[in-house]
Amino acid sequence: MGTPKPLLAYRGETFLDRLIGLFSARCSPVIVVLGAAAEQIRAGVSRPATFVVNGEYALGQTRSMQCGLRAVPAGCDSVLFTLADHPAVAAETIDAVLAASASVCVPRYQGKRGHPIRFSRGLIGEFLALPPAGAARDVVRGHALETAFLDLDDPGIVTDVDDPEAYRVLTGAV
């Protein structure tokens, strides 16, 4: 991409600043897990958050999620989770996900699952117990009967910016 994805520009700010802004208006604390280019990303973010560094980021996304979950304060009753390369989610989607009463809430757009997901504090131990090769979806699948899938009209739920073409589409530069 030429620069770390969290620092890519979207709607006048970085991906990460946008997500911190959306989350901090609804949740506290906002915990950001940094891995590769941690110092560069931290220096490029203007919004306040709790930053934790995952020194084992090369072991994959599960390890980064676990690093963030270890920083969740005891008083939090649930966790709202997203990836930095999903900056286009609508504020209304976050509100709907937070309002759901299920143990796990997953938004969908046109039948496709996306982000952010919310899960109850009681599931943190299961996520922490995943092996490095494990995936968060394994825990979610294990709680299928306690999962709410919200079908919403927000393409940002599934807008994943993984390459320059996806970024051009997101920013309208196609």
Query: What pLDDT digit, counting tens, does each position of 25-42 carry?
Result: 999 999 999 999 999 999
User: Rounded CA gap, 107 and 94, in Å?
Assistant: 9
Contact present, 6 and 15 (Cβ < 8 Å): yes
Burial class from Cβ neighbours inside 10 Å (0-12, 13-18, 19+) for residue 77 reads exposed
Query: What pLDDT digit, counting tens, does each position of 81-118 carry?
Result: 999 999 999 999 999 999 998 999 999 999 999 999 99
pLDDT above 70 (res 141): yes
Q: How confident is the model at residue 174 (pLDDT cuts 50, 70, 90)?
A: low
User: Rounded CA gap, 33 and 112, in Å?
Assistant: 25
**Domain extents for the chain?**
5-171
Q: Domain 5-171 classified CATH 3.10.20.90? A: no
Encoding tokens for residue 48?
A: 């306040």
pTM of the model: 0.93
Task: Give me the mean pLDDT over the 77-84 stretch.
Answer: 95
pLDDT at 132: 80
